[in-house]
Amino acid sequence: MDPASRRTGLWVAGFALVVVGGVLLFAWPWPGGGSPKLPRVIPEELFTAAELRLFRDFYLMQRVLSLLSLALSLSLAAVLGFTGLGARWASRLRGPWWQQVVTACFAFLAATSLVVLPIGWWLQLRATRAGLSAGGWRQWWLDQSLGLLTSWLFAVLPLLLLILAMRKLPRRWPLAAGGGAVVLVFLASYFSPLLIEPIFNDFRPLRDQTLVAEVQDLATSEQVAVSQVLVADASRRTTTLNAYVSGFGNTRRVVVYDNLLDGVPRREVLAVVAHELAHAKHSDQFWGTALLAGGAAIAMGLLPQLLRGWRNEPDARIVPRLLALSMVASLALSPIQNAVSRAMEARADQDAIRATSDPAGYEQMLLRLARTSRSDPAPPWLLQVWFGTHPSIVERIAIARDAE
């Protein structure tokens, strides 16, 4: 790497870090008047001993298998990216440099996916036996293939543009890469609801016009413009209950899982929807995207420092190193990303309870979600800090009880 690129990179990283700090000041849900002291809630008062035993029998092994899968994929990525093995293999590829990059990217992602496929199969088997997966093995294999394909599509374009910048702008490529990363992250967030979500689910308009009107009333009360209320055919994969709001501006829509409409009381359906609308009210998706874009720009600025020993011309040989670095960085930054996510989720819980004026219904919804997913109501602290995107069930129920 050209020494000048390292200096440029530090300027890019420094500027992006200041921007990320500013975004956090706006996006972080700072509590007014100090953090409220929530009532203490323990799992034993929410669930029976038999339920807790049933949950534990499921989630403990799922947790072990998931951590093992993460360790295996990271280990293989490290071997391919940091030992020179991946670069030596990529050097044997033929064709134009861009074609080699495309091939090397797919091969790396396929290898790190295949090494954990047996564990994924075991996880799916246990979920199926527990009644949490409804899709069957044909659907599971299709999802694995589609997941690999979409991962490759999301990785290969940034890689091609990054390596092109390295080749054409040896001194200033971090500047181009940082700006390009910001643009690509926002484009991906905007177009994902239109292009990626239909790959995995079919959508139809919600036919229950009474429920549509209630959802629109909730959206109006939370000052959120919604273009559509759709139903996703999630039941062909899972029994988990969920809804979400996706898109920006005129692409924003409320999406409800079809199994959420199957026998779930209306007050609980509206509680789930109100939570998702609260995210839209505070533009959580936009701010989350902005933080991700800023983080990507920081990564592009620091990349020349991480590639100081790279002496070869940027081509397919650098692909394993770049992908391995991205996986390690993603894991290392998870506590920061998830701390922001948990704070936003807690705020969405509070807003949803205010919007529905039904704390008891919100608590019943949370209990139902826990039972249908067999999740740990109070995960260990370290796992929650590193991997928890939401407050734990006991924390969320404490929020609901505090509003009563």
Query: Kind of pairing, strands 243-246 and 228-232?
Result: unpaired
Determine phi and psi for 66, rounding to 5 degrees. -65, -40
High-pLDDT (> 90) share of the chain, %? 73
Query: Kind of pairing, strands 253-257 and 243-246?
Result: antiparallel
- CA–CA gap between residue 326 and residue 55 (Å, rounded): 34
**pLDDT at residue 361, rounded to an integer:** 94
Confidence of residue 347 (pLDDT cuts 50, 70, 90): very high
User: What is the set of domains in the chain, with CATH numbers?
Assistant: 1-39+63-200+287-332 (no CATH), 206-282+335-404 (3.30.2010.10)
- CA–CA gap between residue 145 and residue 126 (Å, rounded): 20
> 3-class secondary structure for the chain?
CCHHHHHHHHHHHHHHHHHHHHHHHHHCCCCCCCCCCCCCCCHHHCCCHHHHHHHHHHHHHHHHHHHHHHHHHHHHHHHHHHCCHHHHHHCCCCCCHHHHHHHHHHHHHHHHHHCCHHHHHHHHHHHHHCCCECCHHHHHHHHHHHHHHHHHHHHHHHHHHHHHHHHHCCCCHHHHHHHHHHHHHHHHHHHHHHHCHHHHCCEEECCCHHHHHHHHHHHHHCCCCCCEEEEECHHHCECCCCEEEECCHHHCEEEEEHHHHCCCCHHHHHHHHHHHHHHHHCCHHHHHHHHHHHHHHHHHHHHHHHCCCCCCCCCHHHHHHHHHHHHHHHHHCHHHHHHHHHHHHHHHHHHHHHHHCCHHHHHHHHHHHHHHHCCCCCCCHHHHHHHCCCCCHHHHHHHHHHCC
**pLDDT at residue 225, rounded to an integer:** 87
- CA–CA gap between residue 384 and residue 340 (Å, rounded): 13
- CA–CA gap between residue 274 and residue 260 (Å, rounded): 14
The conformation of residue 31, written as its DSSP 8-state character, comes to P
List pLDDT tens digits, range 9-32: 999 999 999 999 988 887 777 665
Which whole-number Å values give the CA distances from 371 to 62, 130, 183, 365, in the listed order?
16, 12, 40, 10
The radius of gyration of the chain from alpha carbons, rounded to an integer in Å, stands at 23
Confidence of residue 129 (pLDDT cuts 50, 70, 90): very high
* Averaged confidence pLDDT in the chain: 91
List pLDDT tens digits, range 240-293: 888 888 876 666 889 999 999 988 999 999 999 999 999 989 988 889 899 999
N- to C-terminal Cα distance for the chain? 60
Confidence of residue 135 (pLDDT cuts 50, 70, 90): confident
Query: Kind of pairing, strands 203-205 and 253-257?
Result: unpaired
**pLDDT at residue 110, rounded to an integer:** 98
- CA–CA gap between residue 142 and residue 233 (Å, rounded): 15
> Please, how many CA atoms are within 13 Å of residue 140, restricted to the half-sphere of its CB?
16
**pLDDT at residue 24, rounded to an integer:** 84
Asked whether residue 346 carries a pLDDT value surpassing 60, the answer given is yes
Q: Which residue has the tokens 């009880």?
A: 401
Hey, what amino acid is at 13? A
Among 293, 341, 105, 330, CA closest to 187: 293
List pLDDT tens digits, range 54-67: 999 999 999 999 99
